[in-house]
Chains A and B, each alone.
Chain A
Amino acid sequence: MIRLPAFEYLKPRTVSDAVKFMSDRGPDAMLVAGGTDLYPNLKRRQFEPKALVGLRGIRELRGVRASGGGATIGSGTTLTQVATHPAVARRYPALATAAGLVSSPQLRNMGTLGGNVCVDTRCNYYNQTYDWRKAIGFCMKKDGDICLVAPGSSRCWAVSSSDTAPVLWALGATARLVGPGGERTLPVAALFRDDGIEYLAKRPDEILTEIALPPDDGWASVYLKLRRRGSFDFPVLGVAAAVRREGDIVREARIVLGAVASQPREATAAAAALVGQRLTSETITRVAELAAGPSKPLDNTDFTHPYRKKVTRVYVARALARLAGLDAGPSSYEAGA
């Protein structure tokens, strides 16, 4: 069996203790919530922390609170809880869908919303055992200094692989971070950076404690996921779309693509082209072509990258059609469920 490395496990009861542990230990420590991604990664020595600060015992991080028109979700809320919470399903159906499509039922029972938002970027040159990575020649994301998918590149092209992050971005959610210097709130859209290694704008000693969702007035949202199988698999393309309509005229729109870059990629030109329009068949086709522009997958995930690029427009069109009510609903395989 492939074994975990030795590490110290710290078990704070409060966020402030967790912050203290993290700042005391500095770069030797990492946060862990459900551990569904981190522990396998540790076995492959993608990380070698001396200490893990476990967030599972912190009560204040858990739960969904629906208030007024909005909602806040503790980062330690499990993906199963997010996917099945009635208020989330009613007001933010795209989020319920995305949370419910992460991995498998067992892992959703352990994995958390915060963990999925902050999940490590992926690359099939990187998500391999130590010995495999050594055999091919280590890459810059761990133990090496070149990029194996784009050898001339000075940056890492590992892929953002969160289902919930593009949805939260599209919904205009904000993230609360608590660190040694206090707390701050920033849009989920500002939580990510376009770099496979430094993919989070969050400092390592900051803890994502809560996601706040704005009131859902007039907004409708949808999430579609491309993956090989109906379970287990990370997205190799995610399409989160949200629109606010007055009557049938779109007043605001956001389309965010997942798993086509090192961070969720907003298709701003496409979204802008929706504003002031009705969601007609023609508009949808035009906007879908525009939305596929920012999709720049590389050959480092499942499926061929030209294929992932090619079907981006199809997935965007289908997402918008669903918002327009043109489609009866997802057939099981399109949603991947």
Chain B
Amino acid sequence: MSKNRFSVVGQPLPKIDAWGKVTGETRYADDLALPRLAHGRLLRSAHAHARIACIDTSRARALPGVYAVITGADLPRVKFGILPVSQDEEALCTEKVRMVGDAIAAVAAVDEETAERACRLIEVEYEPLPALMSIQDSLAHPEIRIHEYGDGPNVHKNVALQFGDVEAAFARADLVREDVFHFEGNTHLPMEQHAAVAHWMADGKLTLWSSTQTPHYVHRLLAKILDVPAAHIRVVAAPVGGGFGGKLDPFAHEIAACKLSQLTGRPVKIACTREEVFYIHRGRHPVLMWIKTGFTKQGDITGCHLRTWLDGGAYGSYGVASTFYTGVINPVTYKMPVYKFEGARVFTNRPPCGPKRGHGTPQPRFALECQLDKAAEQLGLDPADMRRRIVAEPFTKTANHLTVTTIGLEECIDKVVEASGWRDKRPRYQAAAAAQTPKPLWQPRLRKGVGIACSAYMTGAGTAIYWNNMPHSGVVVRADRSGGVTILCGATDIGQGSDSILAYLVAEVLGIEPKDVHVHPADTSLTPVDLGSYSSRVTLMCGQAAIQAGERLKAAVFKAVAAKLGVDASALVARERKIGVADDWDKALTFAQAVELGEAMHGVLAFPGSYAPPKRAGKYKGGGVGPSPCYSYSACVVELTVDEDTGTVVLDDVWIAHDIGRALNPLLVEGQVEGSIYMGIGEALMEEQVFRKHLHKTPSMLDYKSPTTLETPEIHTYLVETDDPEGPFGAKEAGQGPLLPVIPAIANAIYQAVGVRIDEVPITPDKIVKGLELKRQGKPARIGPDKLPLFTFKEPLVVDSAFGQPAEAIAVRPFAEETPR
């Protein structure tokens, strides 16, 4: 496939919703105003762990302006959760609260002020229980149970998988390293705070508008939670002002708004405050990691054994998947013939963690890439060359039975090594770092360093969160007589540009302009199901469904045009809003005329497209997490300056090369890459969701430190195109993978600059200063965890390693037939 085959694909076009976003026309959930709208507010727990003895809402009900007050007693007694295996949440807690911020009651009132006042009038009698605020606390106190289910006292999930004989692999190695790392939890911090408007109308049917990434899952779960037939519920995804994984669960404010609307007969809006968004969370898990890897003298990996302990917080959420993700993706990047993974997710009385950009993989990526750097140093190898040597083989299987298709990582490494001046800078900075000339206190000692890291990430999860044989993505393309085309798809654009991608792909297929394509927002009563905007699945899965639907429409229209022009349909082309024979273009019909002919021949022109990923999950328990149609790859070099006296790190430049398969719109891809880098920088250097006296220490945009544009360096992005057979026109993901390498690349660059290993993020100035003090005292210049929890992982499930087995690109892809049924 050459680039000039395309007219829309590959063009740096603006997003179709760009005008609305920059002018403020876009109406987010909190912008919705309906007649007789009531405003809701949730009362949230002030205790991290307590039994609810009694709730008295009488004073709140009596407040003028209050329409309704509800508690858990007003809702069906049913627990729910996004994963079928973790049904442990209540919208409004009835018996127990498990964290500060758990919702207990909800109020609908004439305005937000009144609703807030009413919340303060609700009297809750608590019987406080000891709060368990860390993995160590929770494991040390099995007599205190946060939940009654799981794989042990306060252990949500305990997994162990082994592919091949790791001990033999270590015995074969020239160097075996064991390292311990910690990755602090952090949160998504979307610009838009969650908001929902519910309207339970007089006909007994419910509509919910919500800033959600997964209208389909919310639809399914609302039916269960509210005990209402799903057929009577409509969920509309409002434009989402940033998701990053934080809007993937059903939330208390959505459910409460629905119930309050039913009781009041009014539409009800609940918009979360910023502080509430910190409690809703479902963000990055704090993960403690132990990683043991064997290396040959040449830098080949003989085998790897990883243990992870995840602080899950108070609820399950996506945690079972998160636990697997800390283990299953690392083998996709490098040749890792033997692999063992043990992971445990522990409940604590903190806001529940879940999926955040990179879901479960930035933490073990940090561990692996820092360990590779240490191994390269010990082996006397250049860390870039070492990585390049061990890049996994395309179209093979990994030790843990994942099928890998195209891999552009070698080219990515070459690009960033070349562009960053790695070969020149690395020895130069190394020599400079060794110099220790005396200097006066006032003179800053600035040290430069370069660091490298690589990564891989899924392009869409290969399995749905509930078991089914239906499509993961559905699209209906409808042509109207004006020459316009409407796309109906249940995907939500969370800022990543998925609506635009749908418009580009269908415009490409039909030879029209993206502006001629109207993309309808996700609406469960109108749009075919798409599972949601997560796991970097939308461009690939909706894209393939949209191409299929577009091709079917095109075939129908071509048939009618062929009859009109008296030519064979195979001679027709669609471009420039016309359909005709290339050699006889003067006779070409406009697209609108062609649609009229098509409609006259076939009736209504509306065609479905469906996509489900190839079925190739590993045939072992747990094999469903990790498979993906294809994987993106990234390589990143960071150059930075460390001020030794203050520990301040200034990023000078980031070079990143990303194997995108094909850039459907390079501008959007670069935007996703830059956004990922920016988010990674925050995680590497400052962001931390930490607690003091059971409370979130910094639940505000001012105090939760996240970088600004001023902390964001020049980012040099290089796109590598590998034209993957699984992707729409060859495309792979861009929204998550590029976040992964920047964090270890920063840690590795800091080590190169000042000779201090900070084996935990965030890498804050005080840790660097402390590390330098240790170095001056001649002690090991390392800051990081050294203790591991006393914990017994379960007996591993032992499976043969599938490493190196050849893999077909597409095994079986359901719904892939070419013609409409």
Contacts and interface: CB of A to CB of B under 8 A. Distances in A.
Interface in A113-142: 124, 127-129, 131-132, 134-136
A321 B442 contact: yes
B804 interface: no
Contact of A229 (B44, B275, B699, B711): B711
Interface string A310-337: 1101100110110000110001111001
Contact of B766 (A134, A148, A284, A307): A307
A228 B698 contact: no
Interface residues of A, number: 45
Nearest to A1: B271
B271 A326 contact: no
A212 to B, nearest CB: 32
Contacts of A321: 440, 442-443
Given A230-B711, A314-B646, A304 B442 contact: no
Given A302-B705, A310-B769, A134 B46 contact: yes
Given A129-B275, A310-B769, A3 B112 contact: yes
Contacts of A232: 702, 708
Nearest to A331: B444
A136 B47 CA distance: 9
Contacts of B116: 3
A277 interface: no
Contacts of B645: 311, 314
Given A136-B695, A229-B711, A1 B441 contact: no
A306 interface: yes
Contacts of A320: 442
Nearest to B706: A229
A127 B704 CA distance: 12
Contacts of A331: 444, 650
B766 A306 contact: yes
A196 B464 CA distance: 55
Interface in B696-726: 696-700, 702-703, 705, 707-708, 710-711
A127 B703 contact: yes
Nearest to B699: A132
A318 B444 contact: yes
B765 interface: yes
Nearest to B768: A307
A124 B262 CA distance: 41
B527 interface: no
Contacts of A229: 686, 705, 707-708, 710-711
B695 A135 contact: yes
Which of A231, A307, A327, A337 has the largest count of B CB atoms less than 10 A from its CB? A307
B486 interface: no
Which of A228, A288, A317 has the largest count of B CB atoms less than 10 A from its CB? A228
Contact of B710 (A124, A231, A281): A231
B385 interface: no
Contacts of B766: 303-304, 306-307
Contacts of B699: 128-129, 132
Contacts of A281: 440, 442
Interface string B400-437: 00000000000000000000000000000000000000
B118 to A, nearest CB: 13
B698 A285 contact: no
Given A131-B44, A132-B275, A231 B693 contact: no
A285 B442 contact: yes
Contact of B705 (A127, A134, A148, A228): A228
A303 to B, nearest CB: 6
A311 B695 contact: no
A136 B648 CA distance: 32
Nearest to A2: B273
A308 to B, nearest CB: 9
A149 to B, nearest CB: 10
A118 to B, nearest CB: 19
Given A3-B113, A134-B46, A229-B708, A318 B695 contact: no
B711 A284 contact: no
B370 interface: no
Given A307-B765, A333-B648, A326 B275 contact: no
A115 B765 CA distance: 31
Contacts of A326: 442-443
B100 interface: yes
Given A229-B705, A311-B646, A285 B47 contact: no
Nearest to B45: A135
A233 B697 CA distance: 16
How big is the B interface, by class? 35 or more
Which of B442, B648, B696, B705 has the largest count of A CB atoms less than 10 A from its CB? B442
A225 to B, nearest CB: 12
Interface in B268-288: 271, 273-275
A124 B442 contact: no
Contact of A334 (B444, B702, B703): B444
B708 A313 contact: no
Interface string A1-45: 111001000000000000000000000000000000000000000
A67 B112 CA distance: 52
A313 B444 CA distance: 12
B703 A288 contact: no
A284 B441 contact: yes
B697 A124 contact: yes
Nearest to A226: B646
A332 B708 CA distance: 14
Interface in A262-312: 281, 284-285, 288, 302-304, 306-307, 310-311
Contacts of A127: 700, 702-703
Nearest to A4: B113
A275 to B, nearest CB: 19
A327 B695 contact: no
Contacts of A317: 440-442
Nearest to B272: A1
Nearest to A324: B442
A53 to B, nearest CB: 23
Nearest to A6: B113
B711 A303 contact: no
A143 to B, nearest CB: 13
B499 to A, nearest CB: 27
B703 to A, nearest CB: 6
Nearest to A228: B705
A314 B686 CA distance: 22
Contacts of A284: 440-442
A1 B112 contact: yes
B105 to A, nearest CB: 13
A98 B707 CA distance: 21
B273 A1 contact: yes
A166 B659 CA distance: 52
A327 B116 CA distance: 54
B46 A131 contact: yes
A231 B705 CA distance: 11
B765 A230 contact: no
B442 A333 contact: no
A246 B693 CA distance: 55
Nearest to B274: A2
Contacts of A334: 444, 643, 646, 648
A132 B276 CA distance: 11
Contacts of B696: 132
10 closest Cβ pairs, A-B complex: A230-B710, A321-B442, A135-B46, A307-B766, A317-B442, A281-B440, A317-B441, A314-B645, A285-B441, A2-B273
15 contacts: A2-B275, A3-B112, A129-B275, A131-B44, A229-B708, A232-B708, A233-B702, A284-B442, A302-B703, A302-B705, A303-B765, A307-B647, A307-B766, A311-B769, A331-B650
Interface of A: 1-3, 6, 124, 127-129, 131-132, 134-136, 148, 226, 228-233, 281, 284-285, 288, 302-304, 306-307, 310-311, 313-314, 317-318, 320-321, 326-327, 331-334, 337
Given A1-B273, A321-B442, 7 more contacts: A2-B273, A230-B710, A233-B702, A304-B766, A321-B440, A334-B646, A337-B710
